[in-house]
Amino acid sequence: MGSGKRQLRVGMIGYGMMGLVHSRAYRALALHAGTETVPVLQALCGRDESKVRNAAAEMGWASCETDWRRLMERDDIDLIDIGTPNHMHAEIAVAAARAGKHILCEKPLAMNLEQAHRVWEEAQKAGIVHMVSFNYRYAPALQYAKQLIASGRLGQIRHMRAVFLQDLAIDPMAPLEWRFHKPFSGSGALGDLLSHSFDLARFLVGEFKRVTGYAATFIKERPLVRQPEGNSEPAMGKVEVDDCAGVLAEFANGATGVFETTRLAGGNGLDGNRIEINGDKGSIRWNMMRLNELEVFFTEDEPSHWGFRTVTSTRDKKHPFTENYWVSIGYQDLFVNLFTDLMKGIARGESLSPNFEDGLRNQKILHAVEASVAEGQWKAVDG
């Protein structure tokens, strides 16, 4: 750790997959020269004492708790990292804000629009620094795409199309975990996956004006996580959320958008996240599975050479965030980039984007889509 750097003591709630990703990202920041503040893995929190102690030891956390409320009382915690199931986000974020802790929250910010408003208001009132973990916008290729769009290289934006496809739930015998229960998740693929696509749309194209959508559930029942003893056949429970969703959108600047998501798209693994944006002077395409690359097309090129060409976003150190990398980056590094901004924001006392306002605006889009699915008509997105 460099001399003179401020230590930021982190209390993280949740130690599953995202807990491991966040832990690795915090530790990687110690090697980066670009931040005045560096994280310290102070306390890890989970309900099962044995499991959380093992996780803390494996991931390098100094202490552990089994009640997240204890983190709010500790004066050796500066930042609360929320990586719990969705239904706990709002309650923990409100408590953290009232305790004067800075907050990093996994998406979605809340279960519904009312909760998201409350979290945003409490954070504003407390004056703490806050961010939401919309990590995909931290791919250097998409940061470069943002620069191209802002500079006018693509001209007037006309279209955006995005898909976020997974095969996570394609097995009908995959257990009925919390993600399939509406009281714990809020929604299915819509909130889990398209929330990321909506954030990229706002980041690159602009605010949403109105939306219309559909949602469907193909696998209606799944085996219970805890099976009753003595049953020869698996006991089944109802799936309460969508397997797939689609959305048509109109942006405030007149551009159109098409979005699709499903957890049942075989062959797409866990991260079939892809976008294309078309303007009257050019286009860009990006695929998470080739996250270091941005495909670009410009109408100013010689027509005989028209077509997409590939820019490697980690080749030129002028591209965003690439000063800390060699050759290429991966999924883990998106969080390192996001956390770099988090540390800079805390040093400045500024909530850099994506923050709770972005989380609230994202929730407004989800709310409008859900209303459209229920009512079968276009719905305005509340600005």
The pLDDT value recorded for residue 27 is 93
pLDDT at residue 231 greater than cutoff 80: no
Residues 6+ apart with CB under 8 A from 303: none
Class assignment of domain 137-333+340-380? alpha beta
Query: pLDDT tens digits, residue range 338-348?
Result: 999 999 999 99
Query: pLDDT tens digits, residue range 258-286?
Result: 999 999 999 999 899 999 999 999 999 99
Q: Give me the CATH topology for the region 6-135.
A: Rossmann fold (3.40.50)
Higher-confidence residue: 250 or 315? 250
Which among 69, 104, 3 has a CA at the least distance from the CA of 342? Answer: 104
What is the β-pairing status of strands 102-105 and 221-223?
A: unpaired
The pLDDT value recorded for residue 3 is 53
Q: Mean per-residue pLDDT for 89-116?
A: 97
Cβ atoms of 125 and 150 within 8 Å: the answer is no
Cβ atoms of 81 and 324 within 8 Å: the answer is no
Across the chain, what does the average pLDDT equal?
A: 94
pLDDT at residue 2 greater than cutoff 60: no
Query: pLDDT tens digits, residue range 174-202?
Result: 999 999 999 999 999 999 999 999 999 99
The pLDDT value recorded for residue 34 is 67
pLDDT at residue 311 greater than cutoff 60: yes
Q: Mean per-residue pLDDT for 154-177?
A: 97
Query: pLDDT tens digits, residue range 7-30?
Result: 999 999 999 999 999 999 999 987
Q: Mean per-residue pLDDT for 149-178?
A: 97
Distance of alpha carbon 327 from alpha carbon 245, whole angstroms: 36
For the chain, give the percent of residues with pLDDT over 70.
Answer: 98
* Per-residue 3-state assignment (H helix, E strand, C coil) for 186-247: CCCHHHHHHHHHHHHHHHHCCCEEEEEEEEECCCCEEECCCCCCCCCCCCEEECCCCCEEEE
Give CATH 3.30.360.10 domain extents, the chain: 137-333+340-380
Query: pLDDT tens digits, residue range 26-77?
Result: 999 877 756 788 999 999 999 999 999 999 999 999 999 999 999 999 999 9
pTM strictly above 0.85: yes
Give the residues across from 308 on adjacent strands.
none
Cβ atoms of 65 and 45 within 8 Å: the answer is yes
Write the single-letter amino acid at 67.
D
Which among 134, 129, 126, 127 has a CA at the least distance from the CA of 109? Answer: 134
The pLDDT value recorded for residue 29 is 87
Q: Bin 95: left if φ > 0, else alpha if -120 < ψ < 50, else beta.
A: alpha
Give CATH 3.40.50.720 domain extents, the chain: 6-135
